[in-house]
Structure 1
């Protein structure tokens, strides 16, 4: 009887180990998040505001503990590296991004070099349209531990992104009235 319990425990542990380790070996699940906002302003003014990393602190909820470490002023250009601290579930974490693509008054892309995600690509686009400027945020990202993504993404990550961009939406709306 004792041998059966021991073998059962070994089988359960082996299955858990294979599932957990396997999550690191398979391709990560890639998520996307996008948000659009029309602001009644001109393209130069809107792009200038967003291309100043220092303004990120103004449009990020204070609960995120967002703080730019890179000394100001930061020139927004391809190859620029920006270091931040941000709180993830109350825990301070370093985040480093690089501007990998930049076209004045059209778009810029920041990609995470170091931080909480295994992959982060954020394209900020700006289009002049009737009534102002359409701001388009497109984010592609992957979580670092695939084994827990089905729990962590819908309960923590997606709601947090919604909260950040809803806050940002309101601040931008008020700023560009």
Structure 2
């Protein structure tokens, strides 16, 4: 299942792309489940990001590996792929793309996920959409609303 969200912001794409650091990661964390950041290496291939999802009842580990990164004259991206995922997820790939858009930038969150069951993937879609839609106002606050 794939989810693709786009957010226009005022700052140029390179400024936005280079701001994808630990501080922004913390700001983008959803209110629920709470995330306890265990490790944040960065966004270069080989870097690891590890969190503990705290539901209030049980905690789950989520570890992602940065597998790709590219910067061109028109845009930049990096990809994190899930290595250790909370149930019911079996596959996770999140491509963070920032492209030039006039005098500003367009941030793309392209998420591909799978539970191994199409029906469950479809049931999770509204939750994924809600969780990642919460990033839009944060992006606009940090990088400027267009």
1:95 aligned residue: 62
Distance in 2 separating the partners of 1:88 and 1:33: 23
Alpha-carbon RMSD across the aligned residues, in angstroms, is 2.0
Whether the aligned pair in 2 keeps the contact of 1:38 and 1:132 (CA below 8 Å) is yes
1:137 aligned residue: 109
Decide which structure has greater strand share.
2
Task: Give ranges in structure 1 of 5+ residues lacking alignment.
Answer: 1-30
Give the C-alpha shift of residue 89 in structure 1. Answer: 8.6
The aligned length equals: 139
Decide which structure has greater helix share.
1
2:36 is the alignment partner of 1:67: yes
Give the C-alpha shift of residue 100 in structure 1. Answer: 0.3
Give the C-alpha shift of residue 92 in structure 1. Answer: 1.8
Give the C-alpha shift of residue 173 in structure 1. Answer: 1.2
1:114 aligned residue: 84
Give the C-alpha shift of residue 57 in structure 1. Answer: 1.8
1:171 aligned residue: 138
Distance in 2 separating the partners of 1:99 and 1:88: 25
1:25 aligned residue: none
Q: Kindly indicate whether structure 1 or structure 2 has the higher relative contact order, using CA contacts under 8 Å at least 6 residues apart.
A: 2
Distance in 2 separating the partners of 1:170 and 1:54: 16
User: TM-score, structure 2 length as denominator?
Assistant: 0.84
User: TM-score, structure 1 length as denominator?
Assistant: 0.70
